């Protein structure tokens, strides 16, 4: 829909926009109002170049799009009935909990194994463990490929699927060859379109799940959903959206908590939403409240950092990992909120 700056376009302006959209196989249908005339684009209005050319015309105020730019992730797409199952849980039917260490310590694998067992007992259905780490400080521990074996050993011992972050194409291949069940795309790479494409291509013929974090710098929600579309375009619709806080930070928290975007996402996309409260608030004492708020806002699950002995952990674990006791309590309360979300039965 083209909204002009004036009440209506001149015949010359109308001829110009008609010629622009015709190049993209579309037509213009004026909708004449009492005061103002607007101009519908009839046809597939998703071509970015067509929209850019129209927006560049001096007499065009703005373009309102009716069709969404994401074909597969749109909640009106045929994929809307698609269900993702992880660790025996069908997303949307029961609360999914992904929990475990921020960073696997390759020198002390037992912390990871003990944590994996503890988070399983707390009710998590997926174990997380960072093998490769995106660190702000280049001199901080960057992860170690050796940790991939520890991660997979944890999966064998617990019988649960595992999640780890991949930062480059080489990680994708290593993780898939090792049998990682959930590839995590981190906040720093959520706008790395060549990596998103590479992941989409690599998981196309598999049942691997991709957990896509929201970037610190994503603006409109459509930017987040379009990033997921890059992966889905290759054929694997097992994609979970993961809000994890954005920039600029809310003073005192690690990021600006964004668990409240879930209802907005669900209006646009069918994709399940699993919120990461750990990176959102960045301090263990704030994590449970953020986790519960996320479930109240309609999240399908939570991704929480936990450690049997946070002080002995590396990466984010000392500051933001929950102990198994607090994780157990948080999951119990989160499930109570989940149950409250069910519509109250009449009578
Ligand atoms: C993580 O999950 O440990 C992590 C680095 O997350 P994010 O990409 O959200 O910062
Ligand atoms: Mn972390």
Q: Tell me, in angstroms, the distance from the centre of ligand 1 to residue 302's CA.
A: 13
The residue whose C-alpha atom lies closest to atom 6 belonging to ligand 1 is: 186
Task: Evaluate if residue 347 carries a pLDDT over 60.
Answer: no
Q: Tell me, in angstroms, the distance from the centre of ligand 2 to residue 109's CA.
A: 17
Pocket, ligand 1, Cβ cutoff 6 A:
102, 130, 134, 165, 186-188, 213, 244, 276, 279, 316
Q: E strands of the chain, at which residues?
A: 2-4, 27-32, 37-42, 60-63, 85-86, 89-90, 96-103, 126-130, 162-165, 182-185, 209-213, 239-242, 274-275, 301-305
Pick the closest to residue 5 from 57, 74, 59, 52 (CA basis): 59
Atom from ligand 1 closest to the CA of residue 187: 8
Contacts of residue 123, defined as CB under 8 A and 6 or more positions apart, other chains included, come to 97, 328, 331, 332, 335
Which whole number is the average pLDDT over 261-288?
Answer: 98
The residue whose C-alpha atom lies closest to atom 10 belonging to ligand 1 is: 187
Task: Evaluate if residue 250 carries a pLDDT over 80.
Answer: yes
- To test the ligand 1 pocket, which listed residue (130, 217, 279, 307) has its Cβ within 8 A of the most ligand atoms? 279
Q: Tell me, in angstroms, the distance from the centre of ligand 2 to residue 194's CA.
A: 23
Look at residue 68 in the predicted model and tell me its pLDDT.
81
pTM listed for this prediction: 0.92
Atom from ligand 1 closest to the CA of residue 128: 2
Contacts of residue 87, defined as CB under 8 A and 6 or more positions apart, other chains included, come to 96, 124, 125, 126, 160, 161
Q: What is the pLDDT of residues 54-67, one digit of tens each?
A: 999 999 999 998 88
Q: Tell me, in angstroms, the distance from the centre of ligand 1 to residue 179's CA.
A: 21
Pick the closest to residue 209 from 244, 179, 187, 188 (CA basis): 179
Q: Tell me, in angstroms, the distance from the centre of ligand 1 to residue 280's CA.
A: 10
The SS3 call for residue 71 is coil
The answer to whether the CB of 99 falls within 8 A of the CB of 303 is yes
Q: What is the pLDDT of residues 87-145, one digit of tens each?
A: 999 999 999 999 999 999 999 999 999 999 999 999 999 999 999 999 989 999 999 99
């Amino acid at each position: 829909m083209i909204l002009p700056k004036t009440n209506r376009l001149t015949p010359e302006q109308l001829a110009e926009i008609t010629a622009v959209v015709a190049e993209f196989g579309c037509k213009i249908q004026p909708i004449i109002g009492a005061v103002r005339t607007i101009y519908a684009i009839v046809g597939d209005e998703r071509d970015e170049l067509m929209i850019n050319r129209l927006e560049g015309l001096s007499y065009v105020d703005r373009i309102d799009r009716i069709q969404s730019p994401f074909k597969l992730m749109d909640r009106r797409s045929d994929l809307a009935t698609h269900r993702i199952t992880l660790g025996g849980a069908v997303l949307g039917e029961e609360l999914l909990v992904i929990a475990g260490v921020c960073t696997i310590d390759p020198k002390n694998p037992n912390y990871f194994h003990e944590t994996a067992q503890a988070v399983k007992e707390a009710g998590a259905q997926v174990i997380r463990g960072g093998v490769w780490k995106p660190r702000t400080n280049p001199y901080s521990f960057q992860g170690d490929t050796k940790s991939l074996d520890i991660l997979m050993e944890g999966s064998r011992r617990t019988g649960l699927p595992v999640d780890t972050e991949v930062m480059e194409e080489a990680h994708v291949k290593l993780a898939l060859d090792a049998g990682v069940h959930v590839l995590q795309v981190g906040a720093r790479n959520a706008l790395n379109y060549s990596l998103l494409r590479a992941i989409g291509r690599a998981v196309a013929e598999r049942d691997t799940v991709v957990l896509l974090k929201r970037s610190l710098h994503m603006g409109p929600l459509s930017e987040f959903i379009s990033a997921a579309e890059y992966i889905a375009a290759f054929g694997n619709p097992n994609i979970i959206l993961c809000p994890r806080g954005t920039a600029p930070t809310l003073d005192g928290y690690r990021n600006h908590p964004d668990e409240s975007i879930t209802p907005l996402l669900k209006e646009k996309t069918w994709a399940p939403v699993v919120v990461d409260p750990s990176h959102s608030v960045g301090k263990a004492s704030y994590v449970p409240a953020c986790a519960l708020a996320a479930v109240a806002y309609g999240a399908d699950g939570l991704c929480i950092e936990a450690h049997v002995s946070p002080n002995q952990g590396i990466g984010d674990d000392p500051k933001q990992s929950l102990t198994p006791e607090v994780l157990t309590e948080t999951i119990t309360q989160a499930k109570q909120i989940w149950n409250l979300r069910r519509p109250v039965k009449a009578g």
